[in-house]
Structure 1
């Protein structure tokens, strides 16, 4: 049986590295990513695997972020559900709000994953961004 926590951690590390080729096989074809409303995506939304991989590849071009980090906090697993609390930091190539190029965007995130048959089938993100203000 696949270790759901190890699978989710591997996926987060692939996303962190902008590595779509490493992330793709960890996701089921019917994967759904739900992003709750936040400062970046005010209306929230739902994306399938193809859209997620396209976005990850675009991110890998490093036109918006030169790098990113997920500082993982608590990870709670119950069967095939894994909940991860994390701090996300993104190093900006271009200004965002009052954050300058070279600055760091920060979000506090709760990610809820569903795993089935050794693949992630659902991810729901609650992203709370810090103000886009220079410190």
Structure 2
């Protein structure tokens, strides 16, 4: 698979999430043995890891509280089987987060490292830096 193919898949994945897709609609992007690591951040101070099933479940839960979200890719890199994206994420939630009331926008600067096997994400690392909320 070429660099352009995995970059296109990574962008399609973020677009699908932006469009509100969740659960089984996102499953084709993930390898069955995917491991996603979220490093500690203001929203999730302990960080965490997710396998395939957990990612699917978390996306369904997220759909219940995220009114809308966007991923504005600032930079993109491909190294071997890895896509690295620098992204500005914005989301409007249906619940309060910190001092941010429902309906107000949250913002974060993300770095995503997506490793691919056979056209699917096999390993994902999130480095999320939230604007104070």
Report the TM-score when normalising by structure 1.
0.91
Quote the Cα distance in structure 1 between the aligned partners of 2:97 and 2:49.
24
Q: CA deviation at 1:32?
A: 0.7
Is 1:52 paired with 2:61? no
Quote the Cα distance in structure 2 between the aligned partners of 1:95 and 1:51.
23
Per the alignment, residue 85 of structure 1 pairs with 86
Superposed CA deviations along residues 29-71 of structure 1, whole A, max 9, x for unmatched, are 001110000011111111101101111112222xx22111111
| DSSP-derived class of the 1:112 partner | strand
Q: CA deviation at 1:83?
A: 0.2
List gaps (5 residues or longer) in structure 1.
none
List gaps (5 residues or longer) in structure 2.
none
Residue of structure 2 aligned with 1:35, choices 18, 33, 38? 38
Quote the Cα distance in structure 1 between the aligned partners of 2:44 and 2:61.
17
Quote the Cα distance in structure 2 between the aligned partners of 1:38 and 1:17.
25
Aligned length: 130
Structure 1 vs Structure 2 CA RMSD:
1.2
Mapped contact 1:18–1:57 kept (Cα < 8 A) = no
